[in-house]
Structure 1
Amino acid sequence: MQLEVRPDPAEVGRARRWARSRLAGSGIEADEPLAEILVLLVSELVTNAVVHTGCTAVLRLSLPCEAADAATVRLEVADSSERAPVPRCADGEETGGRGLALVDGLADRWGWSREGDGKRVWCELDRCERAEARLACGGGVGYEGLDGFEGFDGLEGLAYEAV
């Protein structure tokens, strides 16, 4: 499943609605923590593509079939910008700069790769057998593709809640 996203901030809301609509038939309930985390990750990655590249992007979502109790959900955003995603260390007064830290903290795995003239940023969530066990599945176990970037200290001291 994929959605083309224009370089317009209004597209972020459309991408969230599209992702929610795709949950039907996947066995992931709309009020399940995994669904809320997935929608937040869609919002962060699409926002990055829209705000930082000014290019059209393609959002791809791979959901498990309804029968799968334990599976992986994969989200990808591909764009035509060669600029690598760079985590920032935003201070308490800044209104942006925390997106990749959220992705790192909420996804089980994430990274990026060059693709043609652009790149693909991806993340994966492992689906637990029970929604209540989501956080015990190892969310935020690591990141890939950002070796060598200075100033990113991970999520020490960062508190977040998916609501």
Structure 2
Amino acid sequence: MLGEVAVAPQDSQLRTKGDDRDLEARLPGTPSQVSRARGLVTDALGRDHPLHDDVVLLTSELATNAILHSRSGDGGSFTVTVTNSEAAVRVLVSDAGSDGPPCVCRTSARSTSGRGLPLIEALSHRWGFTREDGSTTVWFELQHTRVPAAVAV
């Protein structure tokens, strides 16, 4: 993982590393920063990237969870890291931690929350989380899929 980068809410730090494009930003733990997290994905990938919409959606879910379910939403901050390589896009959202681990809880059809991690589980190729030193990092990965020319219509 990249070293910590402090970034103003309206700025981002785009770094290139070999063939990978990495972007990392620390954002205040306020609801308005969920939109900024989505913007970071666009900064890293560009709107024409084939995985853009899915990555934006899943990043939005993780940023929202960081604010609602961790100490980041109590005056803290969270970090979003986007890595784009030839093989995949990986996003990590690190927050200030909570009392329990992230839960892929099943909710009723009438619930107004609780669908973020099940959505990440359904749409991503891989995902997971780590908890250490009082913080939680949740990540997902979407792989680039290539259709052979003989199959494309």
TM-score norm. by structure 1 comes to: 0.68
Q: Does 1:16 align with 2:26?
A: no
Q: Which amino acid aligns with 1:79?
A: D
Equivalent positions of 1:6-155 (< 5 A) are: 6-24=28-46, 29-30=48-49, 32=50, 34-55=51-72, 56-64=77-85, 68=86, 71-82=87-98, 83-130=100-147
Partner SS for 1:96? coil
Moved over 2 A (4+): none
**Structure with the larger strand share:** 2
Aligned equivalents of 1:99 and 1:19: distance in 2?
18
Partner SS for 2:81? strand
Q: Which amino acid aligns with 1:51?
A: L
Aligned equivalents of 1:62 and 1:89: distance in 2?
29
Aligned equivalents of 1:72 and 1:14: distance in 2?
22
Q: Which amino acid aligns with 2:82?
A: L
| Gap regions ≥5 residues in structure 1 | 131-163
Q: Which amino acid aligns with 2:94?
A: A
The answer to whether the 8 Å contact 1:6/1:50 transfers is no
CA RMSD of aligned residues (A): 1.5
Aligned-pair identity (%)? 32
| Gap regions ≥5 residues in structure 2 | 1-22, 148-153
Alignment coverage as a number of residue pairs: 120
1:27-51 deviations in Å (ceiling 9; x for gaps): x724x3x111100110011110011
